[in-house]
Amino acid sequence: EFPAFSNGKNILEKLERHGYSAFFVGGAVRDFLIGRPIGDIDITTSAKPEQVKEVFPKVIPVGIEHGTVIVRHNGESFEVTTFRVEEGYSDFRHPDEVEFVDDLEKDLARRDFTMNAIAMDKQGKVIDPYYGRKSIKNKMIRTVGNPSERFSEDPLRMLRALRFASQLDFQLDSETFSALADGAVMIKEISTERITGELEKLFAGPYVSKGVELLRRSNLVDCLPVFKENRRLQDSLRQVKVPFGQLSELICMLVYWDKQVTISEWTKAWKLSNRTKKEAEQLYEAISYSRKKQIDAWLVYQLPSHLLDSFIRLHTTYFSPVRIDYINHLIHSLPIRQKRDLSVTGKDLIQWFPERKKGPWINQALTSLEKLVVIGELPNQKNVLKEWLKHEYHPQSTD
Ligand code: ATP
Ligand code: MG
């Protein structure tokens, strides 16, 4: 009766056959009860990681010290964590002491929000000591226990609250919101990588405007890298309209809205990969080009195909609608796909202009040809390109 969990049921059964107790928990149970598609399934069990390893043939240790292993079963991954309570968060990153306890309720008590603190057994019976289902019904995000204490224990939870609001269209319960607004500055204790991990989900959430509004209203935005103490940047977030598929899209738009901060400043401060930086640059190039000129063959030629969707979404949302059939037409009509496809090579140039020394002019000449061929000014034919070059480089001596 809950097919999405069918593989997971095998895991619970097997653990139980070996004398352990085991339950589904976390996001999958929450999403199942909400009625939205479930993602990765988390399992909580009385079995210790070493015992889980004895029960299953395929186990990947991911965080043994925190009691977590990944069990592979029928091509699916399950994060299996031993019941635990955590004490002491002095360094704001890892619990000082992870104590394993054979007690499901205590395990649920350490979880962040009531909607995430619901367990479900293999028959689909729900164990819900913190009234998570009631929160789900009221579309409310509330911490398990005192919100100020829970946010002090782990300030990342504040950002998690907002990203769930953005993903689920839930409200923050008023006490939870006040504690968050009061404690926002604690987010500075959290590593940048963990912050951007949650921000990425917040900005990709279907209800992103809600998440962004909360980010601003709670003042959490004022404690985030780059945004802090920059009112203008914070205000630019008001323009956000639709979810960003990836952070490179967001950074492209942030720089478009406020050119004082460069792409590399954003990606550096947010500790993002070079790949994200590069993609933000390529998107920004394409957006700027289309604003100055138009969407043409040169634009689609230069934009990597994996960024086309992002470009179309940004352009359609923030500038003007893009006709996809027109883009496809441009792509299919491209005479070449890359510089290498030119009928002329550097070697040809050296041969044709023996009087010139090798140097940057070769690449410059090829780039000129590339652009002329792509926009259809010249055919990609060796003799025609040679003629054009002869004119360019020896204007007087031809004829
Ligand atoms: P998603 O759908 O994004 O996976 P999720 O709720 O499963 O959402 P995870 O980050 O996968 O989120 O965490 C799994 C579960 O672990 C959560 O549902 C929650 O019960 C618990 N959890 C995760 N992070 C924290 C935290 N910082 N503090 C307390 N509990 C947490
Ligand atoms: Mg999860």
| Residue 44's CATH number | 3.30.460.10
Q: Say if residue 27 carries a ligand binding annotation.
A: yes
Q: Which of 315, 334, 353 represents a domain boundary (last residue)?
A: 334
211 shares a domain with 259: no
166, 210 contact by CB (below 8 A)? yes
222 shares a domain with 190: yes
174 shares a domain with 280: no
pLDDT digits (tens, 9 = 90+) for 12-38: 999 999 999 999 999 999 999 999 999
Which CATH number fits the domain that encloses residue 358? 1.10.246.80
Q: Say if residue 231 carries a ligand binding annotation.
A: no
Q: Say if residue 42 carries a ligand binding annotation.
A: yes
Ligand 1 site-directed mutation target among 80, 86, 112, 142, most atoms within 8 Å of CB: 112
249 shares a domain with 220: no
Residue 326, pLDDT score: 95
Which residues constitute the domain of residue 357? 341-399
Q: Say if residue 112 carries a ligand binding annotation.
A: no
1 shares a domain with 125: yes
Residue 2, pLDDT score: 75
330 shares a domain with 255: yes
> CB count, 10 Å around CB of 357?
8
**Separation of CA 194 and ligand 1 centre (Å):** 13
Residue 96, pLDDT score: 47
Supply φ then ψ for residue 39, to 5 degrees: -100, -140
Which CATH number fits the domain that encloses residue 147? 1.10.110.30
Looking at the 3D structure of the chain, how many domains does it have?
4
pTM: 0.90
44, 104 contact by CB (below 8 A)? yes
Per-residue HEC secondary structure of the chain comes to CCHHHHHHHHHHHHHHHCCCCEEEEHHHHHHHHHCCCCCCEEEEECCCHHHHHHHCCCEEEEEHHHCEEEEEECCEEEEEEECEEEECCCCCCCCCEEEECCCHHHHHHCCCEHHHCCEECCCCCEECCCCHHHHHHCCEECECCCHHHHHHHCCHHHHHHHHHHHHHCCEECHHHHHHHHHHHHHHHHCCHHHHHHHHHHHHHCCCHHHHHHHHHHCCHHHHCCCCCCCHHHHHHHHHCCCCCCCHHHHHHHHHHHCCCCCHHHHHHHCCCCHHHHHHHHHHHHHHHHHHHCCCCHHHHHHCCHHHHHHHHHHHHHHCCCCCHHHHHHHHHHCCCCCHHHCCCCHHHHHHHCCCCCCCHHHHHHHHHHHHHHHCCCCCCCHHHHHHHHHHHHCCCCCC
Closest C-alpha residue for ligand 1 atom 15: 26
109 shares a domain with 71: yes
**Separation of CA 226 and ligand 1 centre (Å):** 26
Low-confidence ranges of the chain (pLDDT < 70): 1, 85-102, 395-399
Rounded CA-CA distance 341/363 in Å is 14
201 shares a domain with 323: no
Q: Which of 134, 158, 193 represents a domain boundary (last residue)?
A: 134
113 shares a domain with 68: yes
129 shares a domain with 34: yes
Ligand 1 residue neighbourhood (C-beta within 6 Å): 26-27, 39-40, 42, 111-112, 116-117, 154, 156-157
320 shares a domain with 390: no
Q: Which of 116, 134, 152 represents a domain boundary (last residue)?
A: 134
ipTM score of complex: 0.99
368 shares a domain with 328: no
* For the CA of 167, the nearest ligand: 1
Ligand 1 site-directed mutation target among 38, 116, 149, most atoms within 8 Å of CB: 116
